[in-house]
Amino acid sequence: MRLQSPSSPPPRYRVLSALAAGGMAEIFLAERIEDGRPPVQVALKRVRAHLQNDPVLVGMLSDEIRLGLLCSHPNLVAMLDAGHEEGQPYAVLEYIDGLDLAQLRVALLARGERFTRAQAVKISMELCKGLAYLHTLTDAAGAPLSVVHRDVTPPNVLLGVDGAVKLCDFGFAKSRSQRTLTEPGLIKGKFSYLSPEAALEQPVDLRADLFGVGIMLWEMLTMQRLFHADTDYETFKLIQKAEIPALGPAGAQADDVDDVLEEIVRKSLARDLQQRYQSAQALYNALAAYADWQELSCELGSLVERVRPASSRRQS
């Protein structure tokens, strides 16, 4: 599928512009053209042109498509369609008009602002809802797929001007339906958001995804990075130790964080798997109870609209 220009789009799609390019894939903003209907903006994803002869990467995108087409949840970016062009798979994804969480953090810092407790808790709750669905997904016969996202990171959390919070990019996801085997020991996910077990190259399960939520919650509350060093090696060592600085007044990281919220964050970031939350639903329940107790509320869509650059477009 050649998407370098709008002159040769896949059938029924007209490419408008490039949205993003990562190490493996590239994303294009496009319009879906159907007779008798107004055009609908979508995101087209394919393996980067110079990597299209790599069977592992092509297989990973095919696995992502297979998993995405099974999913239907408001906190997951929807896989709308898929196909092949010139022997290469492509995915058609829901387009989210807004920012990713990494961009939102940068925009807030540039304005001298920070996430409120209500915003940080709300975003984390919405992610937990999407993960709870993903982790309990079954195949057509009702058998568990045992999905682990393995890349729960700020660039993969999309926030729309409509207030939606959606997890995207299943390219690294592990599930029972997976057909492409990657190299043993290959570490999935961005380094600063790995779980201790992943950094130690041990088997991971759904609790690794919850650790990623915990890192992002800690970082939203403090506007600091939790595991970040000058080199990847030093970052790995920080993650393996998983020593979590205190959040509340005693730790001087975020003086508006009380003991109850601090305990929720610390449990989500427990190095010992048995001490960590055992499901996304359990973490969601803890956050929801806290939000109710503190009467927290916020409107995320207006935040995204207010701080995003006028030209910003992002989709993964």
Active-site choice (63, 100, 151, 169): 151
Spell out the residues 6+ positions from residue 74 whose beta carbon is closer than 8 angstroms to its own. Answer: 129, 130, 164, 166
Identify whether 151 is a catalytic site residue.
yes
Give the whole-angstrom CA distance, residue 167 versus residue 158.
6
Spell out the residues 6+ positions from residue 204 whose beta carbon is closer than 8 angstroms to its own. Answer: 148, 150, 174, 195, 197, 198
Q: What Cα–Cα distance (Å) separates residue 126 from each residue in 29, 30, 32, 283, 285? A: 25, 27, 28, 11, 11
Give the whole-angstrom CA distance, residue 212 versus residue 97.
24
Expressed in angstroms, the distance from the first to the final Cα of the chain is 18
Q: For residue 230, how many other CB atoms are within 10 A of its CB?
A: 7
Catalytic residue numbers read 151
